[in-house]
Chain A
């Protein structure tokens, strides 16, 4: 079964607005990562946050992690049409593990 689940499944916003999506997971993690996938393409890594970190920024992206609630959020500020994509969270388990477990993703549509 999937370790992480994103919410909402789909999101439609106006250009310039902020987009927020959430990821919940089930077991303790070593780190949590967010990826973006444009239609018909492979996934691209956006940001990695470790279990001992609470917030991380990268350009217009802000990621938070709450290990007590087993949840993370990805905020995209001042969205652009080019941000239209699917976004996935992926978790790396605390155990000595080489694998990432992905959620089903949030599809974001940014309207011009």
Chain B
């Protein structure tokens, strides 16, 4: 199994609070991604990174920010959580040059009350 750890795995928070999800990899892969999974929508890309300090937006980036200060860590921050951000968040990594095979973490289930 690819060395990807997501934390926390479960979190319940209240509307308006900040939340940070962490993705940690031990594979030294260049590309890292944050997806959210909701019923009926499959996985939708939030943000991705193609190197340290190099990040870009995905299709559902509003309300989210990311940071990657070192190769192994990719942080997803919800500055002020809303109920619409209740979801399961998946981190993925890839070592190949663009659009190759992704390795996924086990997911972080976030509930915003």
Contacts and interface: CB of A to CB of B under 8 A. Distances in A.
Interface string B70-113: 00000000000000000000101010001111111111000000
A98 B98 contact: yes
A78 interface: no
A98 B102 contact: no
A42 B42 contact: no
Contact of B42 (A30, A41, A44, A104): A104
Contacts of B31: 98
Given A98-B31, A104-B42, A105-B42, A42 B105 contact: yes
A51 to B, nearest CB: 11
Contacts of A90: 102
B90 A93 contact: no
A110 B16 CA distance: 43
Interface of chain A, helix or strand or loop or mixed? strand
Interface residues of A, number: 27
A92 B98 contact: yes
A97 B42 contact: no
A43 interface: yes
Interface string A65-102: 00000000000000000000000101011001111111
Contacts, number: 63
A45 B35 CA distance: 15
A99 B92 CA distance: 11
A48 interface: yes
Contact of A101 (B45, B105, B107): B45
A97 B50 CA distance: 10
Nearest to A30: B99
A20 interface: no
Interface of B: 31, 33, 35, 40-45, 48, 50, 58-59, 90, 92, 94, 98-107
21 contacts: A2-B42, A33-B101, A33-B102, A42-B104, A42-B107, A43-B43, A43-B90, A43-B92, A43-B102, A45-B103, A48-B100, A48-B101, A88-B42, A92-B99, A97-B98, A97-B99, A98-B48, A100-B45, A101-B59, A102-B42, A102-B44
